[in-house]
Amino acid sequence: MRVDHIGYAVKNINKAKTSMEALGYTFEPIVKDMDRNIYICFGEMDGYRVELIAPMGNSSPVDKYLSKNGPTPYHICYKSAEIETDIEKLKASRFKVSIPLAQAIGFGNRRVVFMYSLSVGLIEIVED
């Protein structure tokens, strides 16, 4: 696996995007992920990618996180050529699936899974 991006939970995607652009990031268009009730926007600077994630409403999985922590980086995403195999390896290393493997519109309907470890926190894996 290799790092794809760092995910930032933000309250307002347009304001966050403007602030990150001031740092030098260039962004793709904002995507509405109706399945997850979130707005997503990917940015890149010098080969580093970030993902801004903002809630579309109170039922968003990011809304609860924001209410506890405020805007902050909250996950690292890894690309995987063998996603099912990598999930099983991580399970054997005590990672737990927190959001099951499913297609994600923000990744052109490639599958993603979120996993959690008490040692490192939340990670995302996207199929390559």
* Interval 93-109: pLDDT, tens: 999 999 999 999 989 99
Confidence at residue 58, expressed as pLDDT on a 0 to 100 scale: 76
Find the mean pLDDT for residues 16-41: 95
Task: Express each pLDDT in 42-59 by its tens digit.
Answer: 999 999 999 999 999 877
Nearby residues of 50 by Cβ (< 8 Å), 6 or more positions away: 5, 6, 7, 8, 20, 25, 42, 43, 44
Q: If residue 19 lies in a helix (H) or strand (E), which one and from where to where?
A: helix 13-23
pTM for the predicted model, two decimal places = 0.91
- Whether the per-residue pLDDT at 113 is higher than 80: the answer is yes
- What pLDDT is stored for residue 63 in this prediction? 85
Per-residue pLDDT, averaged over 50-75, amounts to 90
- As assigned by CATH, the class of the 2-127 domain is alpha beta
